[in-house]
Structure 1
Amino acid sequence: MENAVLEKLQYPIGKFIAPDCYSKSYLEEKIVEISSFPERLKKEVLHLSEEQLDTPYRNEGWTIRQVIQHCADSHMNCFMRIKWTLTEEKPIIKFYYEDRWAELHDNLTMPIQPTLSFLEGLHFRLAYLMKSLSETDLNKSFIHPEHNAEFQLKEIIGTYAWHGNHHLAHITELKKRKNWL
């Protein structure tokens, strides 16, 4: 039972499940989710106190502040990965230690407003770029050294839409449990 509870806290919307087909409508839907993520996140966190922002979403988990900063770090890496893939032949992308980044001073202490603003601009650019991708572009791929695997850009669209929703659910579920509505 304890493992099921931990799994639900870690993956409140479940783990990412790749679709059988990356249809045009699926990709359009995911780009809308990516585009709307900053506004949905801001709506959930802007009114929180410093104490609430420094509350972990689960035992031994990141604080809400760290989750917000992590989304900026991760989605910035997504943007760079797309750019490399569009301009290089199957690039080997740079792996980063997200757990170590989360423990850096800025991720632990920085106010969230600059990061929310950064996410607005970044997600505008991500969605704008993603909407422009041709079928050929969508099938371009990069190599991820951590997984020793190849990922196509169309897969990244689904993965990062899920990623934003996944971390947003960490926040909304904590708010429900703490009755911070």
Structure 2
Amino acid sequence: MEQLVEQYKQGYPKILKELEGLTEEQLLFKPSEKSWSIREIIIHVSDAELVHIHRMKAVLSEDNPILTAFDQDLWTTRLNSQQVDHQLYLQLFKSMRESFLPILHHLTEQDYLRIGTHTQAGQLTFKEILEHSIEHIDIHIRQIRRIKNLF
């Protein structure tokens, strides 16, 4: 489980590295009308982290809690992510990750097996939610790289 905790810890530095040297124009560039910009991706990553931490805390604290889905596209468009300060959201992401690390360091094997029921995906263990949170960063880093290559 230590490897998962370390991977979780590395999420913020990995994102930060991908953003080095980007201009405002690059941050706002959208490959197509339906695509997200790098700025929108950063806002989304932070929003998703908020949701992931809520789910993980619920699973650790409650007996089989209901874990609701959210519409990431609606959050991005209706909350005007293209106009939001992505630096503020990067700091929020960093703070959320750092604040959750002490909890991760004190979990038992049994904690990783605790479950919640997601409204779309069904039953998920704490470990599966944590793994998804880790993988989510890698998915969006690849997305950022594709956008950078198109610019």
State the distance in 2 between where 1:170 and 1:138 align: 29
| Counterpart residue type for residue 159 of structure 1 | H
Q: In the TM superposition, what whole-angstrom CA distance separates every residue of 1:102-153 from its partner, at most 9, and x where no partner exists?
A: 1134412112111111111111123332222111111101100123x10000
Q: Name 1:99's counterpart in structure 2.
A: 73
Q: Quote the RMSD (CA, aligned, Å).
A: 1.8
Change (3 A) 1:59 1:132: farther
SS at match of 2:99: helix
State the distance in 2 between where 1:74 and 1:53 align: 19
Shift of 1:157: 1.8
2:52 to 78, 85, 97: 78
Q: Name 1:52's counterpart in structure 2.
A: 26
SS at match of 2:10: helix
Q: Name 2:141's counterpart in structure 1.
A: 168
Moved over 4 A (4+): none
Q: Name 2:95's counterpart in structure 1.
A: 121
Identity of counterpart residues, as a percentage?
Answer: 23
1:133 to 88, 102, 107: 107
Asked whether the 8 Å contact 1:57–1:64 carries over to 2, the reply is no
When you count helix as a share of all residues, which structure comes out higher? Answer: 2
Equivalenced residue count is: 151
State the distance in 2 between where 1:176 and 1:32 align: 29
Q: Return 5+ residue gaps in structure 2 as ranges.
A: none
SS at match of 1:103: helix
| Counterpart residue type for residue 104 of structure 1 | R
Asked whether the 8 Å contact 2:60–2:126 carries over to 1, the reply is no
State the distance in 2 between where 1:125 and 1:74 align: 16
Q: Return 5+ residue gaps in structure 1 as ranges.
A: 1-26
